[in-house]
Structure 1
Amino acid sequence: MKMKLPLALRFLIALCLWFPTAADHEGRSARSSILFYTVGRSNYEFDIFTLPTQFDDSTPNSAKEFQITDGRSVNYNGHFPAISPSSPSILLDQILTTNPASRPPIHLIYVSERNGSSTIYLDAVFHGGGPDRGRRRSTLEVSNRVQVPLVGNQQSHGRISMKDRPSLVGDHLVYVSTQEKSGVPRTSWAAVYSTHLRTGLTQRLTPQGVTDLSPAVSPSGTWTAVASYGEGRWSGEVEELKTDIFIFRTKDGSGRVKVVEHGGWPSWVDESTLYFHRESDDGWWSVYRAILPKSCRISVDSVVTQRVTPPGLHAFTPATSAANRTFIAVATRRPDSAYRHIELFNVVSKQFWEVTRNVSPKANHFNPFVSPDFTRVGYHKCRGLSNGMKDNHLSLENIHTPLKDVSVFRIDGSFPSFSPAGDRIAFVSFLQGIYVMNLDGSGLRQVYSGSVFATAWDPIRKGVIYTSAGPSFSSVSTEVDVISVSIDDDELTYKKLTEGGENNAFPSPSPDGKWVVFRSSRSGYKNLYIMDAVNGEKAGLFRLTEGPWDDTMANWSPDGDWIAFSSDRENPGSGSFALYMVHPNGTALKKVFESEPGGRVNHPWFSPDGKSMVFTSDYAAVSAEPICNPHHFQPYGEIFTMRLDGSGLRRLTHNSYEDGTPTWGPAFMRRVDVQRPVDEQCKFEDSPWLRAVENSVTVKARCGGQ
């Protein structure tokens, strides 16, 4: 190891770091809390809306849009089930005995993330019975609603999972769930299940070792089609999964066969015809039709596929109904718009009919679905602050996890950290700067206004927070400095601890408050260094790691024995990071966990008792088609915990977002959401690679196709 310090001082540093004091081991409670950040998640709240497929000119289109879901949390990916008195089911039993209305209700099955966990709900919204005859656009009045949780944590015997794209077949609900671990790194946990709603009996329809997404049940209920990337691990590709379409018998998953290579989001129009989307060779996402042979022998070679939507625009997520074979509903992204809109497409005349653009021209509309009689089209979009509703934003969202003594929260800010006493939280706001608040969300204030990332509290000096001042995700030549901010002084002050213009970031103090480990690019590579916590690097510098790779995101253990960090040392520059630990004197370096060669493990943080770590990883791969979730910046990154020897791996989050920057603090927070008012929402853009495709196509057209 290279040193800038005299040998005696070097030995003193190593000695202090190696032997923590007895006080470091006292006063820790087994009950604690984990906070983490989800990229972009706080910028939107979705509800499901519906419009008629046929408009008349007497009423403005905006007056015909009906908000079905109740304005709580995130509601998406709906399905209009075929429920009628002639086909009785458990759903109809509950609906009619609760509110026998004079007019048939709107039935909706959908996914909701309320209560910190994914649940599939049935809502029946009745017209009539109110002073405005039930034609209100907001359906918040409970008297007009029947709401039944179909499959959630309670219905699935406590198994926490992401659930998605539900369909109803009699009394069976078919859906995606991540409730069973794959057991293989970077292999998705997403599989298709069927739950009998009267008995709760659940069976897995997807073979073990296979990932199935976006299920669609045929009109008769006999077949289910899925987007699958089969056996093998996720490649790590963000833009598209390159899934294939398989079909199998809905009753038991038998008869599984591939019918389409390269396709996703299937939707049946009859027992031998389904639509799907894929990225075409010309770069435009388009909808295709697959015609299956009516003989028993079905294979990719016997299925006829045809492109349906033309180039010049993106078309995704087709929706069909057996009642109307002429039209399909699609979400489109046209070059003259930054938003997705729902349109009806005539497969015979090749004409589009805009549905949502005249209603909400500057809002994204996602994943359409149509009623069995093709009279209504549904979709989800941001509800915003329409209809006079005062919306609330979750500063802290309680997340259901399998941990009994640890409360887990999604925080509206990145790089959170707990104060040593566990009574305050520091985090980085997307508006820039460091904010501090109490555990209940009160006392929120900005303590630093510059561009920063990462926070860590000094364990000894009250009110001192370390951070990285400068742009994140920057090169080795970008100037970033480690600073300390004193937030409890009468006047806020900060102190620069590094100098020289290198990329210095991710500070973490030793448990005795004397030293700070951080990553620096001063050698031309991002390695780990240790400096004095008060006077910074001018008081001397100890180089902890050395090599032509990136060592970063260091965190010091509570007992002072270990420093955990992420590194790409096995494949420098690849973006692949594994989790390592090393003693503060530079000895006993060991790899603790990797997703797999090529995978990502980042942001390790020790538990208060020093026996476990929390981190983010792509170990569970993806849980949904990324193109169907453009507001999700990445399709990978879940929160995990494990013991220091790499055993006891537990997945805490189940979603299709990018979860990251976790922290683990000594206070057990009450498992309730913390809200604050907001003025606007939905500050996200569609998938960035779509704009790149459009620009490329435009340039080629201007250059005569050269």
Structure 2
Amino acid sequence: MRPQKPLCSFFFFFFFFFFFSLILTLYPAAADHEGPSSGTSIVFATTGRSRYAFDIYTVPTVDPPTNANELRITDGHSVNFNGHFPSPTSSSILSIIPNQTLINLIYVTERNGSSNIYLDAIYYDSPDHTRRRSALQVPIRVQIPLLGSEPSIGRISMKDRPSLVGEYLVYVSTHEDSGVPRTSWAAVYSTQLETGLTRRLTPYGVADLSPAVSPSGVWTAVASFGERGWSGEVEELSTDIYVFLTRNGSNRVKVVEHGGWPSWADESTLYFHRRSDDGWWSVYRAILPEIGAVSVGTVVIQRVTPPGLHVFTPAASTANRSFIAVATRRPDSEFRHIELFDVDSNEFRYVTRPIAPQNHHFNPFISPDSTRVGYHKCRGDSNGGKPENLLLENIQSPVPDISLFRVDGSFPSFSPEGDRIAYVSFPGLYVVNRDGSNRREVFTGTAFSSGWDPKRKGVVYTAVGPIFATESTKVDIISINVDDDKLGYKKLTTGGENNAFPSASPDGKLLVFRSGRSGHKNLYIMDAVDGEMGGIHRLTEGPWTDTMCNWSPDGDWIVFASDRENPGSGSFELYMIHPNGTGLRQLVQSGSAGRTNHPWFSPDGKTIVFTSDYSAVSAEPISNPHHYGPYGDIFTIRSDGSEIRRMTHNAYEDGTPTWGPTYMRAVDVERPNDGPQCSFEDCHWLKISRNQGVEVGPLGFTEAQCGR
């Protein structure tokens, strides 16, 4: 096993975080640091992410659920999900929580530009038993980050489905490169909280998801790809369930073929979900032998929930084995709800539907004494949380002189000076100052992609018409002078044969773009001012799709995405070519059926940012239904094809990156809320009609998976 660098000491980090939080409370401007004196910025899109507003809630299992007894546990501000109720005796860290604790909670939270695992508590601390939350917010809140962000060594990662067992935190992390294109980086780790010592429990060459620790803490079950890897599934991963010793990952054995999201009821009983042969997602039970060797052949598998509705993400009760908590999608509802299922009587009992019938609820978990069930949902504008819609959200970057921002839109691009950003918020095109001020719509029609003229101030190029359509679809390229009070535009292409993705040469004289005018989408170059009327010539030719092109700052290269290795397959890779048509070479090999798209040169031309499923999936798609695709991260690569670096780690679909010439400070830019929070649908493939069409999404991936 490779040696692991210890994380920072828990207690050191706790006291550091306490005093750092005090500084930020007393001096908020301290957080608004200037960043490096020189540097650059990458801005990208994450479909719908800036409108997510998840908090964790709980209700009693014994009383009828009502609005009065539903309790929001988390802070009403961050994106909080995938909770776990630890045992009161799980760890000595619980001793720092005040006496008379009512609820302890471990959960995943996204804040300050990265994800982490936090411990929260709700406790009674006053004579009249007034209920208050704890969090580490001076003076009355204590909220404990259980893992450091490790900014000094760049170990940014997704952290998912945590469990606290004794002194150990068990969770998923993506900080280690699998070394193989289109192979998941997700692995299970344990961290001893008092020492910070971290151990990888997943073997190298394998990807594990959704860990669950047995009641004794001895065993951990995971949904695993094993050694077969990811083949591109986004509906059901068809993982297998493995069990291994929590202390070191040894004694690993496969116990279930075709199963995910395991949950222990006792040391020999596991619940899990899978899509059944009849098309319904259902919960199953695996009974492991108490004596003798455990293998797939010795485990008894029983279907627990009936057909006629989708049931998934089970949570077993270790104190009361007569019921489990599940998420359901019923034929009479468009929403996902939490229900309790009696495994003896085979009866369901509603939990969340009486409280919020038109709200999605996700990933239940049960308290150690089985008296409470928890879940996460959108807090909304009226659920005691803060409505927030960030136009530009800072993301923790693994590179000190590159700042990362998520834009609430798609296809961003920087002005040559780096002071403004153009982006698409379907259907319109917008321009905003890089600090988020002076946002205005400059084109009201359906537009996609954006790019600035490097010489003519205020000129922005875009394509207008349906996105990602057939070769003959009417799409044209226009230029807009966004500094013109009248906001007129000039049409540069005339045929309308799906002309899109314009990118100007550094001298501002030419535009490279893709067009379907030959019956195939290939690259062309035309005059930047007069368009086709000023001259046009073909750059690439073939029965494939060349698209998403970007011109290098020195003018020597054009980078683009292409499916030329397997036309029509949906698999895209990156290529570079000289503007005169010579020097074609492959830059990124995506792996079998991989998708690598939307390349953009850095201001110095030495590096290219792009979006890709190069690191595959990081979580089970069924547990993240509010994402178009549970894969797709931002990467950079040197223009010579070396040094691929992963910039983002999450279970979302990141795409359409751009690279700007200035360093944007790590400040989140909030704008007035102008739309509903969490206005997404459940997975399209969970609808009762099973034959769903496949559409291509705005980030270049497919929308037949999960989307709004």
Q: Which residue of 2 aligns with 1:52?
A: 60
1:77 aligns with 2:73: no
- Contact map agreement 2:522 2:544 (CA 8 A) in 1: yes
Q: Point out the structure with max Rg over C-alpha.
A: 1
- CA gap of 1:151–1:378, structure 2 versus 1, over 3 A, is same
Q: Does 1:38 align with 2:46?
A: yes
Alignment of 1:47-446 (within 5 A): 47-55=55-63, 61-84=66-89, 89-95=91-97, 99-100=98-99, 103-129=100-126, 133-134=130-131, 145-154=141-150, 158-387=154-383, 389-430=385-426, 432-446=427-441
In 2, Cα distance between the equivalents of 1:299 and 1:390? 49
Q: How much does 1:42 deviate?
A: 2.1
User: 2:510 maps to what in 1?
Assistant: 515
Distance 1:569 1:610, change over 3 A: same
By how many angstroms is 1:43 displaced? 2.7
| 1:8 paired residue number | none
Q: Provide the C-alpha distance between the structure 1 equivalents of 2:311 and 2:280, rounded to a whole number of angstroms.
A: 8
CA distance in 2, matches of 1:131, 1:651: 52
Question: In the alignment, residue 87 of structure 2 is paired with which amino acid?
Answer: A
Q: CA 1:316–1:243 in 2, change beyond 3 Å: closer, same or farther?
A: same
SS in 2 for 1:359: coil
User: One-letter code of the match for 1:201?
Assistant: L
Contact 2:77 2:385 (8 Å CA) reproduced: no
Relative to structure 1, is the Cα distance of residues 174 and 140 closer, same or farther in structure 2, using a 3 angstrom cutoff?
closer
Q: Which deviates more from structure 2 when the two are superposed, residues 669-678 or residues 365-374?
A: 669-678
- Give 1:573's aligned residue: 568
Tell me how far apart the structure 1 counterparts of residues 310 and 356 of structure 2 sit (CA, whole Å). Answer: 19
How far does residue 677 in structure 1 lie from its aligned partner after superposition?
A: 2.5
Matched, 1:547 2:547: no
Whether 1:648 aligns to 2:648 is no
Asked whether the equivalents of residues 90 and 197 of structure 1 are also in contact (C-alpha less than 8 Å), the reply is: no
Local SS of the residue matching 2:124? coil
The C-alpha deviation readout for 1:396-444, integer Å capped at 9, x for no partner, is 11111211111011111100000001000000013x1111111111101
Taking the aligned partners of 1:471 and 1:396, their CA distance within structure 2 comes to 26
Tell whether 2:562 aligns with 1:533.
no
Supply the AA of the counterpart residue of 2:434: L
Equivalence for 1:497: 492
Runs of 4+ in 1 over 3 A off after TM superposition: 138-145, 154-158, 387-390, 692-696
Deviation larger for 329-338 or 591-600: 591-600
- Indicate the SS of the match to 2:614: coil
Structure 1 residue 141: Cα displacement: 8.1
For residue 255 of structure 1, report the CA deviation from its aligned partner.
Answer: 0.4
**2:578 counterpart of 1:583:** yes
Residues 239 and 183 (structure 1 numbering): CA distance in 2 closer, same or farther, change over 3 Å? Answer: same
Cα distance change on mapping 1:237 and 1:560 into 2, 3 Å = same
CA contact (8 A) 1:580 1:592 kept: yes
- Work out the CA distance in 2 between the residues paired with 1:353 and 1:694: 26
- Per-residue CA deviations over 1:310-360 (Å, capped at 9, x if unaligned) read 000000100012110100000000010000100000000000000000001
Q: Aligned equivalents of 1:155 and 1:586: distance in 2?
A: 43
Distance 1:337-1:130 versus aligned 2 partners, 3 A rule = farther
Comparing 69-78 and 516-525, the one that deviates more: 69-78
Would the aligned equivalents of 1:155 and 1:200 in 2 still touch at CA under 8 Å? no
Identity between Structure 1 and Structure 2 (%): 69
**Equivalent-residue separation in structure 2 for 1:158 and 1:341 (angstroms):** 38
Distance 1:491 1:406 in 2: 36
Match of 2:681?
685
What letter is aligned with 1:584?
P
Q: Is the 8 A contact 2:101 2:122 kept in 1?
A: no
Determine the C-alpha separation between the residues in 1 that align with 2:384 and 2:288. 49
Q: 1:659 aligns with which of 649, 654, 657?
A: 654
Distance apart, 1:39 and its partner CA: 1.3
The counterpart of 2:590, out of the listed 588, 595, 616, is 595
- Residue 618 of structure 1 aligns to a residue in which SS? strand
> What do you get for the CA RMSD once the two structures are aligned?
1.8
Tell me how far apart the structure 2 counterparts of residues 69 and 592 of structure 1 sit (CA, whole Å). 44
Q: 1:587–1:131: structure 2 CA closer, same or farther, 3 Å change rule?
A: farther
Question: 1:597, CA displacement in angstroms?
Answer: 3.3
Partner Cα distance (2:416, 2:63) in 1? 61
Q: d(CA) in 2 for partners of 1:637 and 1:120?
A: 22
- Secondary structure class of the residue paired with 1:621: strand
Per-residue CA deviation, residues 230-278 of structure 1 (Å, 9 max, x unaligned), is 1133101221110000000000000000000000000000000010000
**Residue ranges of structure 1 left out of the alignment (5+ in a row):** 1-28, 697-706
Identify which range, 210-219 or 398-407, moves more after superposition.
Answer: 398-407
CA distance in 2 between partners of 1:480 and 1:112 (Å): 41
Residue aligned with 1:160, SS: coil
Matched AA of 2:632: G
Distance in 2 (alpha carbons) for counterparts of 1:648 and 1:592? 11
- How far did residue 139 of structure 1 move? 8.7
For 1:387 and 1:336, the matched residues in 2 are separated by 25
Give the secondary-structure state (helix, strand or coil) at the position aligned to 2:315.
strand
Distance 1:122 1:386 in 2: 25
In 1, the alpha carbon distance for the partners of 2:385 and 2:565 equals 53
Q: Is the 8 A contact 1:68 1:139 kept in 2?
A: no
Partner amino acid for 2:411? F
CA deviation after TM superposition for structure 1 residue 154, in Å: 3.2
Q: Which amino acid aligns with 2:213?
A: V
Deviation at 1:146, TM superposition (A): 2.4
Letter in 1 for 2:86: P
**Residues 469-490 of structure 1: per-residue CA shift (max 9 Å, x gap):** 0011111111000000111012
Match of residue 447, structure 2, among 438, 443, 452: 452
Change (3 A) 1:267 1:690: same
Three-state SS of the structure 2 residue aligned to 1:403 is coil
Deviations 1:500-528 (A, max 9, x none): 13110000000000000000000000000
Q: Say which SS state the counterpart of residue 373 (structure 1) adopts.
A: coil
2 CA distance for matches of 1:373 and 1:338?
Answer: 32
Q: What is the one-letter code of the residue matched to 1:39?
A: T
Aligned counterparts of 1:158 and 1:105: Cα–Cα separation in 2: 37
SS at match of 1:459: coil
The one of 654, 673, 690 equivalent to 2:668 is 673
Paired residue type of 1:65:
E
Distance 1:562 1:206, change over 3 A: same
Give TM-score, length-normalised by structure 1: 0.90
CA distance in 2, matches of 1:165, 1:564: 38
Give, in whole Å, the separation in 1 of the partners of 2:339 and 2:380.
22
On the 8 A contact 2:122/2:132 being kept in 1, the answer is: no
Kept in 2: contact 1:368–1:378 (CA 8 A): yes
Paired residues of 1:164 and 1:214 also in contact (CA < 8 A): yes
